[in-house]
Amino acid sequence: MPEVQAVKDHDKVKLISFLLEKQFSQQLADVWNIGLNLALRISDLLAIKFDDIQDDRLLIRESKTGKLANIKLNSTTLERIARIRQEHPNHIYLFQSYRNQRAQTIKPAPLSRRYVCRALNTVGEEIKLALGTHSMRKTRGYHLYQNTKDIGRVMKMLRHSSEGVTLRYIGIEQDDVDQDFQELEL
């Protein structure tokens, strides 16, 4: 399985959203767009319940690390969440699966990680990028780093404990470091 990438081009970020909506559903485009803004692992993103959202904050305990994620939601994310809530007032999960919706005996469940991964892989093949469920998290980290050049902030957002892990995770490679040396002249 190839390592997935951060999407470094803003136009490709928008294209991915468009293709997910066109080829799959608005719900998958929402997973992509909200996932970009929350930088959570896919298991935590898909497990978000509407009860986890308090005013303009998301409060969840990360399943992998057990760390508390206390995320202030930006206006774009709040608008998307409000639309989803309005369209599906009886849903428990932000990204609730529509499968078996009519079955009264089956408990509500979120979308599966496998389904989201398959959709991202399909779109990635079309635009020639290695996309997967971690691409949202990596993309958010990459763009925060490009905007701030503050690896500490990126580490805190991703809840990493090592600069090296964070740099590798967001796809900062030797070419990027070389470009920084070339562009910044003192």
CB-side exposure of 99: number of CA atoms within 13 Å?
6
Q: Give the Cβ contact number of residue 172 at 10 Å.
A: 19
% residues pLDDT > 90 (the chain): 68
Active site residue 10: no
- What DSSP state is assigned to residue 181? H
Query: Worst-scoring range by mean pLDDT, 43-47, 116-120, 159-163?
Result: 159-163
Q: Look up tokens 């409060």; give the residue.
A: 59
41 annotated active-site: yes
Domain boundaries, the chain: 10-183
Q: Which residue has the tokens 């635009």?
A: 127
Query: What are the C-alpha distances in Å from 53 to residues 20, 93, 94?
Result: 25, 11, 10
What are the tokens at 141? 């980290």
| pLDDT tens by residue, 113-151 | 999 999 999 999 999 999 999 999 999 999 999 999 898
Model confidence pLDDT, tens digit, residues 88-97:
999 999 999 9
What's the rounded mean pLDDT across residues 38-64? 95
Could you confirm whether 99 is annotated as catalytic?
no
Cβ neighbour number for residue 108 with a 10 Å cutoff? 13
User: Is 61 among the residues known to form the active site?
Assistant: no
Is 113 considered catalytic here?
no
Annotated catalytic residue: which of 80, 93, 137, 145?
137
> What is the average pLDDT across 5-23?
96
Task: Quote the CA–CA distance of 13 and 80 in Å, as a whole number.
Answer: 17
Write down the pTM of the prediction. 0.88
The fourth-level CATH superfamily of domain 10-183 is: Intergrase catalytic core (1.10.443.10)
Beta-bridge mates of residue 61: 68
Active-site residue identified among 80, 134, 140, 143 = 134
CA–CA separation, 141 and 166 (whole Å): 8
